[in-house]
Amino acid sequence: MQSDPPIAFAAESHDPPALEIRINFGIFAGREVTPAEVDELAKVILPDVGEISIVSEQRHELTEDVEASLHQVRIEVDREQLPADAGERGELRDGLVAAAERWARACIADRGVEVAEL
């Protein structure tokens, strides 16, 4: 007898990525990233690291008095994909941040939505 896979489940531990680059996409674009744009970001980043995870997320941070919501894109790189040398790691990190910034600006210029004043 086959049962349905669980919808909700607990994950006791999670190994964080060795490098995480966060892109505040929604704040500047006024919208969520599209799947095609995520594919374009992957094409830009993959030649430098070989393997990545890209997470597109809608984050909600809440207290009893305040609610904040934002759309963020994260690039996660595992330790195995990073150079052992600290200087080389720093250069790679800076290059990936610059590439992510160029990608985000191009996406926003192409399909930006007017963002209301905060």
User: What is the radius of gyration, based on Cα positions, of the chain?
Assistant: 17
| Alpha carbon distance 58, 104 (integer Å) | 16
Contact (CB, 8 A) for 42 and 77: no
Q: How far is CA 82 from CA 46, 86, 96, 114, in A?
A: 12, 9, 12, 37
Tell me what pLDDT residue 93 has.
Answer: 97
CATH T-level fold of 19-111: Alpha-Beta Plaits (3.30.70)
Contact (CB, 8 A) for 26 and 32: yes
Q: H-helix or E-strand containing 10?
A: none
The token pair at 2 is 């086959």
Cα separation of the two ends of the chain = 54
Please state the domain extents for the chain: 19-111
Whole-number average pLDDT of the chain: 89
| Alpha carbon distance 45, 100 (integer Å) | 8
Helix, coil or strand: residue 78: coil
Q: Kindly report, residue by residue over 45-86, the tens digit of the pLDDT.
A: 999 999 999 999 998 889 999 998 889 999 999 999 999 999
Tell me what pLDDT residue 117 has.
Answer: 44
